[in-house]
Amino acid sequence: MTKNRIVVTGLGVVSPVGIGIEQFWTALMAGKNGVAPISGFDTTDFSSKIAAEVKDFDPGDWVDAKIAKRTDRFIHFSLAASTMAVEDAGLDDFPFDGNRAGVIIGSGIGGSATIEDGHDRLKEKGPRGMSPFFISKLLINMGASMVSIKYGLKGHVSALSMACSTGANAIGDAARILERGDADIMLAGGSEASITPLAYGGFCATRSMSRRNDQPEKPAALLIRTGMAL
């Protein structure tokens, strides 16, 4: 069976060391470390107090205000990185058959902040206090789904959840779809926004997180291994 040749034509990234390929690559080449004391919540009672947070990210730069309010942070990351990749590939002004274009964007946890907020609302206000967007904000597939809707990618659409290897698996699956000729274009990757008290506390409980809180630049390899980079 003849396999089609696969090429990467566009890239996009939202990361702790840079937003956008140029900023990201410059930081990598300079050896910049994105690990630092957590700023998103109070870590007083946590054994580990450091992580690689995405900072200086404004969803308003990438997502319509109404959509941003109705979607989780990991979905914002998916839309932002996908926008960069589409523009980098030149697909924003290139005609293509949407039925022959697809997307695979996965997530290890999905809407972590949404889950915690929903639980708090349930406890404080009861079921009637829950947001009607609670479920759609937390589902892992919503990153891929929102990107599919935005760019008219009507072919293969799926969302993997393979823990730390989710993004790599998505790229591999997309490549195989292209190789066998089931699509002409695939947008693939992963998105995570799980540095929240519940998720982070769980990682601390498994002793996955470094406790060298006074030296956040030292244990970067361990932190990346836990999948908390985005």
87 lies in a domain? no
**Locus of tokens 């982070």:** 200
The residue type of 76 is H
What digits encode the pLDDT tens for the residues 80-137? 999 999 999 999 899 999 999 999 999 999 999 999 999 999 999 999 999 999 999 9
- Specify the length of the chain in residues: 230
Whether the per-residue pLDDT at 218 is higher than 80: the answer is: no
CA distances (Å), origin 145, targets 85, 91, 120, 150, 151: 16, 18, 27, 9, 10
Q: For all residues of the chain together, what is the average pLDDT?
A: 93
What single letter denotes the amino acid at residue 225?
R
- Beta-bridge mates of residue 212: none
Among the listed residues 95, 222, 106, 101, the one whose alpha carbon sits nearest the alpha carbon of residue 168? 106
Q: Is residue 49 part of a domain?
A: no
pLDDT at 216: 87
* Both structure tokens of 71: 């979607």
Q: CB-based contacts of 92: which residues, under 8 Å, 6+ apart?
A: 86
- In the chain, what percentage of residues exceed pLDDT 70? 94
Mean pLDDT of 155-177: 97
Is residue 177 one of the residues assigned to a domain? Answer: yes
Whether the predicted pLDDT of 229 surpasses 50: no
Residue 55 within a domain = no
Domain tally for the chain? 1
pLDDT of residue 1: 65
Q: Which amino acid is at 194?
A: S
Q: What is the pLDDT of residue 180?
A: 95
Q: Is residue 178 part of a domain?
A: yes
Q: Residue 108: give the domain boundaries.
A: 94-194
Q: What is the mean pLDDT of residues 150-168?
A: 97
Percent of the chain with pLDDT over 90: 89
Q: Is residue 138 part of a domain?
A: yes
175 within some domain: yes
For 168, the enclosing helix (H) or strand (E) is helix 166-179
| Beta pairing partners, 15 | 18
3-class SS at 12? coil
Whether the CB-CB separation of 166 and 107 falls below 8 Å is answered with yes
- Say whether pLDDT at 223 is over 50: no
Phi and psi torsions of 20, nearest 5°: 105, 150
- CATH number for 177: 3.40.47.10
What's the one-letter identity of residue 14? V
Report whether pLDDT(222) > 70: no
Element (H, E) at 37: strand 36-37
In a domain, 62, yes or no: no
DSSP-based three-state secondary structure for 95: coil
Structure confidence at residue 225 as a pLDDT band (50, 70, 90): very low
CA–CA dist 45, 50 (Å, integer):
13
Locus of tokens 């030149």: 90
Q: What is the DSSP letter of 187?
A: E
Q: Residue 65 carries which DSSP code?
A: H
pLDDT tens per residue, range 169-216: 999 999 999 999 999 999 999 999 999 999 999 999 999 999 989 988
